[in-house]
Amino acid sequence: MDEVAKKAMGAAQSKKRTSVPWNFDEPWKQPYYVYSNKWQPIDPSHTNSEQQPYASSLSQLALYAWNIDFMLPFADSRMQLAIRHLEKLVNRLDNSTARVIYLQECVESDLKLLTRDPWVQRCFALTDIDIDNWQSGHYGTVTLVDRRLFITSCFRVHYFQTRMERDGLFVDILLSDKTVRLCNTHLESLAMEPPLRPPQMQMVAKYMRDATFHGAAVAGDFNAIQDFDRHLHSDNGLKDAFLELGGSEEDAEGGHTWGQQAATFQREKFGTSRMDKVFFCGGIRCNQFERFGSGVELENDDERKKIVDSGFDRPWITDHLGVMAVFKVQESSSL
């Protein structure tokens, strides 16, 4: 497994950008894309609800966040299985529930798969169809937004305080005629000095607590492995969906999302942890929280064998479980 990780990190380092067009810690506006025979860019600042119709009947939002490990081989096979698993989960929802999917650690080939997938083409707008807006030249985040939602803004905030080219990807949507801000982020990995996750979450919270929005939610791989990670939400005036619905930090069975599907030696060394989280604030209420993605495995025999031979108990497609939260808009808001 060490060799796999070294190879992946070497690829990321070799593609590191030497210059970027954006200013760090400031919004970098980008288009989103909808499919009509081909993927068409949409500038949300130049559209309105008449030009881009949306379903005002949508009463709640189901938010899915999943890190699909960029270090493992067989990226296409693993992402294809992830897409099909998400489709199965999403299809269980009733039609009054909007669907938004956050993916982290995507590589360029993942974007190609997403843009070619008929389900994605039919049901979602994509924030990215190429890597142009990623701070890393190798891996990054992408958000899939229910095509029935009207998107009023799409932008990234590329963190100044990062060694791993991380950012926050923001999408503003209309839900029950209220504007809700959504953020997909992959916070800094590992235990570093000084720690970088606190200033990154502080930056996210700054844009979530904008008084012009009715409510906001952020989700993703928060790499929560240190004591201070336990109160990043309260430090920034946010609520933790898992805790709000009765979960506890000591509840490994109910809340931990990393370690169960990690390489065996990593699990034995580090145990399991609640790396992936959902925070929210303002006039939205979280009605449901759960994990997903447990036990999704590669299907090709040769690929299965190579993953297990590299140090895993089973040929899982990623080392993370995903997190899902369902939100409903409330009448009042207090950001």
Per the domain annotation, does 242 fall within a domain? yes
Strand blocks (E) in 9-72: 27-29, 32-36, 38-42, 60-67
CA 292, 294, 295, 299 dihedral sign is positive
| DSSP 3-state of 44 | helix
Q: What is the DSSP string of 265-321?
A: HHHHHH--B--EEEEEEESEEEEEEEEE-TT-B--SHHHHHHHHHTT-SS-BS-SB-
CA–CA distance, 117 with 101 (Å, rounded to integer):
15
Using an 8 Å Cβ cutoff, are 162 and 139 in contact? no
CA–CA distance, 279 with 242 (Å, rounded to integer):
9
Per the domain annotation, does 22 fall within a domain? no
Say if residue 194 is preceded by a cis peptide, omega within 30 of 0: yes
* Of the candidates 175, 171, 144, the residue with the CA atom closest to the CA atom of residue 156: 171
The structural domain count of the chain equals: 1
Beta bridge partners of 140: 106
Please report the pLDDT score of residue 260 as a whole number. Answer: 97
Using an 8 Å Cβ cutoff, are 6 and 268 in contact? no
* Of the candidates 170, 168, 178, the residue with the CA atom closest to the CA atom of residue 215: 178
CA–CA distance, 182 with 213 (Å, rounded to integer):
10
Q: One-letter amino acid identity for 190? A: L
Number of H helices, E strands in the chain: 10, 15
Please report the pLDDT score of residue 252 as a whole number. Answer: 74
Please report the pLDDT score of residue 57 as a whole number. Answer: 79
Per the domain annotation, does 334 fall within a domain? no
* Of the candidates 189, 178, 203, the residue with the CA atom closest to the CA atom of residue 26: 203
Using an 8 Å Cβ cutoff, are 283 and 178 in contact? yes
CB atoms within 10 A of CB 127: 24
- pTM, whole model, 2 decimals? 0.96
Per the domain annotation, does 148 fall within a domain? yes
Per the domain annotation, does 19 fall within a domain? no
Phi (first) and psi of residue 271, to 5 degrees: 75, -155
Q: In terms of residue numbers, what domain contains 144? A: 2-8+28-329
Per the domain annotation, does 130 fall within a domain? yes
CB atoms within 10 A of CB 281: 22
Domain containing 161 — which CATH number? 3.60.10.10
pLDDT 10s digit of each residue in the chain, 335 long? Answer: 566 666 666 777 778 898 999 999 999 999 999 999 999 999 998 876 555 556 677 999 999 999 999 999 999 999 999 999 999 999 999 999 999 999 999 999 999 999 999 999 999 999 999 999 999 999 999 999 999 999 999 999 999 999 999 999 999 999 999 999 999 999 999 999 999 999 999 999 999 999 889 999 999 999 999 999 999 999 999 999 999 999 999 887 789 999 999 999 999 999 999 999 999 999 999 999 999 999 999 999 999 999 999 999 999 999 999 999 999 999 877 66
CA–CA distance, 250 with 324 (Å, rounded to integer):
20
Q: One-letter amino acid identity for 204? A: V
Q: One-letter amino acid identity for 91? A: N
- Per DSSP, helices labelled H in the chain are 2-14, 75-90, 108-116, 118-123, 197-208, 232-235, 241-244, 252-255, 264-270, 301-309
CA–CA distance, 166 with 189 (Å, rounded to integer):
10
Per the domain annotation, does 79 fall within a domain? yes
Per the domain annotation, does 20 fall within a domain? no
Please report the pLDDT score of residue 104 as a whole number. Answer: 98
